Structure 1
Amino acid sequence: MAKIIYTHTDEAPLLATYSFLPIIQAYAAKAGVEVETRDISLAGRIIASFPDRLTPEQQIGDALAELGELAKTPEANIIKLPNVSASIPQLKAAVAELQGAGYDLPNYPDEVESEQDKEIRARYDKVKGSAVNPVLREGNSDRRAPASVKEYARKNPHSMGAWSPDNKTNVATMGHDDFRSNEKSVIVEKAGSLRIEHVATDGTTTVLRDGVPVLEGEVVDSTFMSVAKLREFLTAQIAKAKADDVLFSVHLKATMMKVSDPIIFGHVVRAFFPVLFEEYGEVLAEAGISPNDGLGNLLTASAALPEGEAIAAAVKKGLEDGPRVAMVDSDKGITNLHVPSDVIVDASMPAMIRTSGHMWGPDGQEADTLAVLPDSSYAGIYQAVLDDCRANGAYDPVTMGSVPNVGLMAQAAEEYGSHDKTFEIPADGTVRVVDESGTALLEHAVQAGDIWRACQTKDVPIRDWVKLAVTRARATGSPAVFWLDETRPHDANLIGLVKKYLTEHDTNGQQIEIMAPVDAIKFSIDRIRKGEDTISVTGNVLRDYNTDLFPILELGTSAKMLSIVPLINGGGLFETGAGGSAPKHVQQLVKENYLRWDSLGEFLALASSFEHLAQSTDNARAQVLADTLDRATGTFLLENKSPARRVGSIDNRGSHFYLALYWAEELAKQTEDVELAAAFGPLAEALRSNEQKINDELIGVQGSPVDLGGYYQPDDDKAAPVMRPSATFNEALAAL
């Protein structure tokens, strides 16, 4: 039987799965397609990491490793929903929940003081951050807005804030002594192994990482951020925000950049509260309270200390004396500095741009903002968009063009922060990347506290990336622009390879350009205003940024993107959009039994998955499922059956019902497969005739709190009934 793997993930996407997966499995079975699940949730990954501490009943297999191997085969057909890219506070919260449920898991060791601590930390480090994506992404990324979604956005435009020429929102970035300016890059001449070592000024050599495998032609980079210069920069920006009377905000990615960005975040907290750390820094450090975990954790954890009240008073005084801070939740007093994973740059910057360049202030009102992006690698793209909106006003969803993306990400390409090649430097000296002959390929003079990192980009993914870019340009007729800066060492190496591999393809009649990111975004937004489309061909980090930036401006959300990963060995990975809003949706469900999560991304991915399955296994019925699901999704959008905004309206569960109804009706009336049509006719009739009753059952449960039995690991026996409250709908589906 043909097989699709549907991933069991976290938060709102997981809750939606309780409702949607039974529909998928029932429909797919009629085409001889089996839909199985694999648990790659944060809780599942934690449990799989400690089998030696758990009972046989508690143990589960390493589903992520299993899927990683599957992704390398032609048979792979994986639907990947958004998962938690855990910051350390999230990781600790998940561990605490599992401990409370009876799992004998160790605490995450903040300080490594023994070999056991080192071993426990190593296991958890494989779980935190963007641990899932590098394993599954054995192909490059093709992300775009489907025609039906783009058409819906034009007919039902989302709100866009007005702009004025005197808007004072800007981006602040270092521009020197940061990752961008210190980068070095080399193309490895032969396969082998590299060693990363730190040579202190007294000659002591410490191996930071040994046995880093490399292939011939692989691009290897290294760089560092000067923490002394970072502190100077942050102090200056805090003063500037206060002088200019704008909100202060910092925009990092403490999830994907799981080693570097929490450290940077901690320096921001230190810089904002200099008196606090001057007076109580040692007390906090001795108590194991790190600013890297955010202001919220600092306040909570320090409350139990004898100095707790004085520390809280010092924080209050720091907020009063400093600039106004951008807020995550002004009603609850949650600032931009409270939790490192609350403000993720690729989602927070587009949301700010969409809202007149504003963030929310402590008074609950919108205000101009100084957006601090310390590293200058890509900060300029956001400044370019801000300047364009200041000069030309907001973009118009009714008329604006589109910027799909072809992203280099296969085989962990450019994974700057999701791996074990990022280090906080322990002492002054030099960090070197050394080959097997002892030759230093890359080296940097560093100081204690600096953040050093390296990354790798293999040749096969680069070649495949160029091929995918040409394929998409040919298929669409749109220009394809490689966002590469010849003055940046890594990009300079990629430019040489891109030019080389472009000669392997017929590019006659296609406009294919190479531009530095700031030039590329100016080119793209100029075309957007003319209603023209431009394919952005980018590296891994810009893929993340662009596939939030442009969809949020074009569609109002990045969750409505079609995200296909053609795997290099012939399989398919189908991603379902971004999960940045997922935590808030869970909170609302628990509070009032209403889930606002939009599963459109799942609908789009599922149709592509069926189509891939039909082509790879010659399953004609899978193609019928794909075609009818596409048409049903179009009806779903035209009928505006996405979750509404408030209790008493259809939510995620109602959306699933209507998708099931429209899909059953499309299957019942299609003529390609008469037997399939006959099978779905009674279901279509049952759902249509009971539409009001099913709606009443779905909406009738709303308004009261619900118990899911857990946040990171809901109890299936509690969560499934919450997400499937319509007996009429469930019975009709079971009858299929």
Structure 2
Amino acid sequence: MKIIWTLTDESPRLASLTLLPLVQAFAALADVTVEARDISLSARILAQFPERLSPAQHRPDAMVELAQLTSSPRANIIKLPNMSASVPQIKAAIADLQAQGFNLPDYPDSIVTAEDRDVRRRYGKTKGSAVNPVLREGNSDRRAPHSVKSYARKHPHHMGRWSPDSKTRVATMNGDDFRANEKSWVAPADDLLTITFIDDTGGTRLLRDSVSVLAGEVVDASVLRAGPLRAFIEDQIQRAKEEDLLFSVHLKATMMKVSDPIIFGHVIRAFFPGVFDRHGAELAVAGYTPNHGLAALLSGLDALPNGAEISRAFQEGIDDGPALAMVDVGKGITNLHAPNDVIIDASMPAMIRTSGHMRGPDGLERDTLAVIPDSSYAGIYQKVIDDCRAHGAFNPATLGSVSNVGLMAQKAEEYGSHNKTFEMTGTGTVQVTNAAGEILLEHHVATGDIWRACQTTDVAIRDWVALAVTRARATGTPAVFWLDPTRAHDTALSEIVHAYLKGEDTDGLDVQVLPPEHAMEYSLERIRRGEDTISVTGNLLRDYLTDLFPIMELGTSSRMLSVVPLLSGGRVFETGAGGTAPTLTRAFEETGHFGWDSTGELLALAESLQFVADRTGNANAAILSETLSEAIEQLLDMGLTPASGHAVIDTRESHLHLASLWYLALRHTPIAARVAQSIPSAILSTLRQVSAAHSSATEHQWSGATLWNDGMRNS
């Protein structure tokens, strides 16, 4: 059984340059092959246009291969964090590739011809979290490994102090959003659905046809109304200014790649009403949309006749409005510069960890109004803020853990909504009908409203419930399903969950179903007591919680272990969060110091090797897994990861330290004799030098600066 190592973008791609050769050399000790597959944004773009490329320029479509592999019980894939590309990022990648001689078409800003539509469709396959739904043919088991949790308790990270007088809070809609307008239907049998828009004059427009559903599948539809959204945003801008709070908006444009950029565009329009009242038509004709953010708008002003005037109008809007939360103060990047810059699952935990503060234009921390328009899960963040205001910051040295079992198999829930999300161009009704023409779901809509539908298969739900029970039994930890009785989808899901729980052996287990805000309160009470809890959630909430709790517990979500037991029996091992990937890449370009922490990749590799051992009886793979786990724990304890604060240690050096510790751990195992045979002599010589130093060093004596010289760095 071979291991597939995915090559992605930015920091994970750079880290693989030094880590992957070491992984391949060590895996060979157990006769395990580790093969790379390129699923980077550039590779995915090139794979969409084979007819436009020369034979030498062709790139295989690795996503097609991996999609097929996920149906095999022998699938063993290590998925590194991948870029969730926005349209501006795709355009930048296209320009780079064109400059290198690849005959790619420009990204069409508007659809005029059939060719435009085809090109837009192909590029659409690379947009947002395009990789995740393909590989996640199973539900998620995400948790902090013992070594990582132990390290965090022994070396607690800094948590900012909270004041009981903090004015930081979450602002969310109280109606007319996706949560309030959601409707659900459970398919009694296999069917084909059609989505149609019927305008007020009786004219019809087909939005989607031949939407296949299976018996027991949950189908949801909802609409977020543009008018109330705009009024809500305008009100929050005014409140932030009156209360002297930083204004920030928190969305998930990478995952909700159709709906959330539109919402982001509404925020831009509301923040700069004067700009769009006076110059909106000119910007639209030039092809600029607020959906892409302030940076995209500002970058093209020099090419417009009234560019200087429009630029002044934007500055006036900033001066007249509340102070904006900043992404990068030094570079003047605000919270509104790009929809992908402030991703809720990373930005909200960072704010909570930093005393409920974000940084303003002056570089100073301030209380913040966190605007989360859709109310579906906004309340969970308010509960954390309330808890910190009442009880102070969390103490990582004593915190328990909240792991997660996430419903994401077969594009469950929000991940499946992209091709069924529409910005309405008129007033009328959207209907979902079955093959017999019966109306199943229906919403009245107006121009600008965002209507969406999504699906969750019965087999995914059944597997999710079984996985939750399995984890509860394996750990003896309470498992809590976070389901909201005021949401139509969660009401339907609750009935199915209770039915499937009756078929599971839950004797002696603590398995509950709680509304998300109550589940958050329950979990926070437990982790403050040092107790563990399993959160069992839907797909979007899985994303939120698997950053929120790890950032509080560990200081980072990059060191989490995420195992995806595929429905076919194979495994995908995910390697942690990639939120810092672009920042660390820029820092490397500017300073030459590379600070990517590969602990997530190493944890995934240890589990992947154990999976090989379990499935094939390969005892040497089990030895590699066990010794790698020992090496990871030592690497953390000795402070030899880039995130440990030792400025002399960068990613490349950390990899070699890991290899030397792994080498030491293997010395007294049955495969010790194979090391000299399988690992290249140049690498082996360096490992022996570093390992000798490791053998004589203690945690308190260790200093990377005493061991490293130019020759060893080059090795």
Q: TM-score, normalised by structure 1?
A: 0.93
Matched, 1:592 2:585: no
Question: Match of 1:331?
Answer: 330
Q: Any idea what SS the aligned residue of 2:640 has? A: coil
2:453 and 2:291 mapped to 1: Cα distance? 21
Q: Give matches, 1:262-411, under 5 Å.
A: 262-411=261-410
1:307 and 1:484 mapped to 2: Cα distance? 51
1:84 and 1:644 mapped to 2: Cα distance? 21
Question: Match of 2:700?
Answer: none
Question: Match of 1:713?
Answer: none
Distance 1:417-1:217 versus aligned 2 partners, 3 A rule: closer
**Contact 1:223–1:454 (CA<8 Å) still a contact in 2?**
yes
Distance 1:504-1:270 versus aligned 2 partners, 3 A rule: same
**Contact 1:129–1:418 (CA<8 Å) still a contact in 2?**
no
Q: Give matches, 1:533-548, under 5 Å.
A: 533-548=532-547
Question: Match of 2:219?
Answer: 220
Matched, 1:525 2:538: no
**1:303 Cα deviation after fit:** 2.1
AA aligned to 1:75 is R
Q: Give matches, 1:8-19, under 5 Å.
A: 8-19=7-18
**Contact 2:12–2:581 (CA<8 Å) still a contact in 1?**
yes
AA aligned to 1:378 is Y
**Contact 2:597–2:643 (CA<8 Å) still a contact in 1?**
no
AA aligned to 1:33 is V
Q: Any idea what SS the aligned residue of 1:420 has? A: helix
Q: Give matches, 1:608-619, under 5 Å.
A: 608-619=607-618
1:184 and 1:532 mapped to 2: Cα distance? 37
Question: Match of 2:188?
Answer: 189
Question: Match of 1:247?
Answer: 246
Q: Any idea what SS the aligned residue of 1:406 has? A: strand
- Greater displacement, 550-559 / 689-698: 689-698
Question: Match of 2:154?
Answer: 155
Distance 1:640-1:690 versus aligned 2 partners, 3 A rule: closer
**1:680 Cα deviation after fit:** 7.8
**Contact 2:657–2:690 (CA<8 Å) still a contact in 1?**
no
**1:669 Cα deviation after fit:** 1.7
**1:175 Cα deviation after fit:** 2.0
Aligned-residue Cα RMSD (Å) equals 1.8
Q: Any idea what SS the aligned residue of 1:113 has? A: coil
Question: Match of 1:70?
Answer: 69
Matched, 1:506 2:505: yes
Q: Any idea what SS the aligned residue of 2:367 has? A: strand
Distance 1:239-1:663 versus aligned 2 partners, 3 A rule: same
- Greater displacement, 692-701 / 244-253: 692-701
**1:11 Cα deviation after fit:** 0.5
1:436 and 1:346 mapped to 2: Cα distance? 39
Aligned residues between the structures: 704
**Contact 2:676–2:684 (CA<8 Å) still a contact in 1?**
no
Question: Match of 2:551?
Answer: 552
Deviation beyond 3 Å, 4+ runs, structure 1: 644-648, 672-686, 690-701, 725-729
Distance 1:726-1:124 versus aligned 2 partners, 3 A rule: farther
**Contact 2:660–2:690 (CA<8 Å) still a contact in 1?**
no
Question: Match of 1:474?
Answer: 473
2:171 and 2:416 mapped to 1: Cα distance? 22
**1:698 Cα deviation after fit:** 10
Q: Which deviations, in whole Å up to 9, do the C-alpha atoms of 1:513-571 show, x marking residues without a partner?
A: 00010000000001111001010000000000000000000000000101100111110
**1:689 Cα deviation after fit:** 2.0
Q: Give matches, 1:533-682, under 5 Å.
A: 533-644=532-643, 649-670=648-669, 672-673=670-671, 675-676=673-674
**Contact 1:189–1:216 (CA<8 Å) still a contact in 2?**
yes
AA aligned to 1:687 is L
**Contact 1:594–1:647 (CA<8 Å) still a contact in 2?**
no
Q: Any idea what SS the aligned residue of 2:419 has? A: coil
1:173 and 1:644 mapped to 2: Cα distance? 34
1:674 and 1:275 mapped to 2: Cα distance? 71
1:193 and 1:348 mapped to 2: Cα distance? 39
1:676 and 1:667 mapped to 2: Cα distance? 10
**Contact 1:654–1:698 (CA<8 Å) still a contact in 2?**
no
AA aligned to 1:653 is R
Q: Any idea what SS the aligned residue of 1:255 has? A: coil
1:687 and 1:8 mapped to 2: Cα distance? 25
**Contact 2:690–2:707 (CA<8 Å) still a contact in 1?**
no
AA aligned to 1:51 is P
Q: Which deviations, in whole Å up to 9, do the C-alpha atoms of 1:586-640 show, x marking residues without a partner?
A: 1111112111000000010000000001111121111111011011111111111
**1:284 Cα deviation after fit:** 0.4
Question: Match of 1:717?
Answer: none
Q: Any idea what SS the aligned residue of 2:55 has? A: coil
AA aligned to 2:510 is Q
**Contact 1:405–1:536 (CA<8 Å) still a contact in 2?**
yes
Q: Any idea what SS the aligned residue of 1:338 has? A: coil
1:313 and 1:164 mapped to 2: Cα distance? 38
2:665 and 2:26 mapped to 1: Cα distance? 12
**Contact 1:71–1:138 (CA<8 Å) still a contact in 2?**
yes
2:338 and 2:273 mapped to 1: Cα distance? 19
1:699 and 1:444 mapped to 2: Cα distance? 65
**1:139 Cα deviation after fit:** 0.6
**Contact 1:6–1:35 (CA<8 Å) still a contact in 2?**
yes
Gap runs ≥5 in structure 1: 702-724, 730-736
2:253 and 2:706 mapped to 1: Cα distance? 41
Distance 1:599-1:674 versus aligned 2 partners, 3 A rule: closer
Q: Any idea what SS the aligned residue of 2:654 has? A: helix
Q: Any idea what SS the aligned residue of 1:164 has? A: coil
**1:331 Cα deviation after fit:** 1.5
**1:265 Cα deviation after fit:** 0.3
AA aligned to 1:202 is T
- Greater displacement, 315-324 / 411-420: 411-420
1:254 and 1:693 mapped to 2: Cα distance? 47
1:266 and 1:595 mapped to 2: Cα distance? 34
- Greater displacement, 381-390 / 612-621: 612-621
Distance 1:498-1:645 versus aligned 2 partners, 3 A rule: closer
Distance 1:505-1:417 versus aligned 2 partners, 3 A rule: closer
Gap runs ≥5 in structure 2: 695-703
Q: Any idea what SS the aligned residue of 1:602 has? A: helix
Q: TM-score, normalised by structure 2?
A: 0.96
Distance 1:396-1:62 versus aligned 2 partners, 3 A rule: same
Question: Match of 1:133?
Answer: 132
Matched, 1:173 2:172: yes
- Greater displacement, 374-383 / 45-54: 45-54
**1:59 Cα deviation after fit:** 1.0
1:417 and 1:110 mapped to 2: Cα distance? 24
Question: Match of 1:718?
Answer: none
Q: Which deviations, in whole Å up to 9, do the C-alpha atoms of 1:251-309 show, x marking residues without a partner?
A: 00111110000000010000000111111111101111111111011011122111111
AA aligned to 2:140 is S
Q: Any idea what SS the aligned residue of 1:464 has? A: helix
Question: Match of 2:107?
Answer: 108
The sequence identity of aligned pairs, in percent, is: 58
2:151 and 2:13 mapped to 1: Cα distance? 26
Matched, 1:120 2:105: no
Q: Any idea what SS the aligned residue of 1:332 has? A: coil
**Contact 1:665–1:680 (CA<8 Å) still a contact in 2?**
no
**Contact 2:8–2:81 (CA<8 Å) still a contact in 1?**
yes
Q: Which deviations, in whole Å up to 9, do the C-alpha atoms of 1:39-60 show, x marking residues without a partner?
A: 1111111000111111111111
**Contact 1:575–1:605 (CA<8 Å) still a contact in 2?**
yes
Q: Which deviations, in whole Å up to 9, do the C-alpha atoms of 1:139-194 show, x marking residues without a partner?
A: 10000000110010011110000001110000000020000000000101111211
2:432 and 2:266 mapped to 1: Cα distance? 27
2:233 and 2:647 mapped to 1: Cα distance? 46
Question: Match of 1:712?
Answer: none
AA aligned to 2:195 is I
**1:688 Cα deviation after fit:** 3.6
2:578 and 2:585 mapped to 1: Cα distance? 12
1:124 and 1:160 mapped to 2: Cα distance? 41
**Contact 1:130–1:418 (CA<8 Å) still a contact in 2?**
no
Distance 1:238-1:74 versus aligned 2 partners, 3 A rule: same
2:139 and 2:503 mapped to 1: Cα distance? 18
**Contact 2:406–2:536 (CA<8 Å) still a contact in 1?**
yes
Question: Match of 1:489?
Answer: 488
